[in-house]
Structure 1
Amino acid sequence: MPAVSAELGTSKAVMALQKTLSLLLLSLLTLLGLGLVQPSYGLATYEGFQREHVDSTGTGGTNLYCNTMMQRRGMTRPRCKQFNTFIHEDIGTINNICNAPNIQCKDHRMNCHAGVVRVTDCRNTGGSSPYNCRYGARASTRRVVIACEGNPLVPVHFDR
């Protein structure tokens, strides 16, 4: 008889654990739906923004710079990215743009912010295969618009 009692105890414990896990999952999904918990992909988007658009140590401005950086940052595979902008400011200055007043993004969302920074715009001037991408550079100090998300707000997308 003790074996049957132990099995019933184990069965009740497993059922209680399943119920607890179900409630935790439901709570997490509710918080995600309300926007109170940031999903982990937000960090990857911030890191992606930095990989594609931030070069705080470079001054840019030359075709060689664009050709090198576009390849180094993985924007020539599987095909040449047509246009990209590198921001030449420290990440703190770029993050601070997210504190500027909200403006409308190209996709009509209201999570964009504007600031003036030093940039190099790289435009594809020929070639389409990963080994034949060629870029022309244009350096300037200009107004940029970036989309920001998270808490605290961080840049996740270069809008224009």
Structure 2
Amino acid sequence: MALQKTLSLLLLLLLTLLGLGFVQPSYGQFMYQPLQQQHVDSTQRGGTSLYRNTMMQRQGMTRLRCKQFNTFIHENIGAINNICRTPNIQCRNGKENCHEGVVRVTDCRLTASFPVNCRYEGRGSSRHVVIACEGNPQVPVHFDG
């Protein structure tokens, strides 16, 4: 009887620990969601005029007004998370939780703004980007430049 009680407690402890392990990634994913929505497209290489105009519209950056500038990162989540492992640098807002890395991007700059017809120019390239990271483990939460 004592052995069965001990096994039951161990099973409960194991399930609790597994449950805690599943909660943390979803919290990190929640923190990452705004950055992903606005700046990450790992499925495309970008760079073309059609890509820039379509993505800005699809991601909701042309609804109420045309967003002046946006960058799409063309890397998978693992590569973006790795940026959070580089040394801290100062963000534009003065905080020290930014990190820098080189990734493939498409920069989109507004060239024409009609009531519901925003047009963008830019190009695809590999360049340094700065990303703010938070949490433990750290996850990317804000594109800083």
> Scaled by the length of structure 2, what TM-score is found?
0.78
User: What residue number does 2:137 align with?
Assistant: 152
Write the mapping of 1:15-30 to structure 2, written as runs, cut at 5 A.
none
Higher share of residues assigned strand: 2
Displacement of 1:42: 6.8
User: What residue number does 2:84 align with?
Assistant: 98
Residue 36 of structure 2 corresponds to residue 50 of structure 1: yes
Give percent identity, aligned residues only.
Answer: 69
User: What residue number does 1:20 align with?
Assistant: none
Q: In 2, are the aligned partners of 1:121 and 1:139 still within 8 Å (CA)?
A: yes
Residue 118 of structure 2 corresponds to residue 133 of structure 1: yes
- Structure 2, unmatched stretches of 5+, are 1-23
Larger Rg: 1
Whole-angstrom distance in 2 between the partners of 1:122 and 1:45: 24
Aligned length: 121
Displacement of 1:152: 1.2
Q: In 2, are the aligned partners of 1:79 and 1:128 still within 8 Å (CA)?
A: no
Whole-angstrom distance in 2 between the partners of 1:158 and 1:49: 7
Residue 92 of structure 2 corresponds to residue 117 of structure 1: no
- 1:118 maps to a residue whose letter is R
Provide the alpha-carbon RMSD of the alignment.
Answer: 1.8
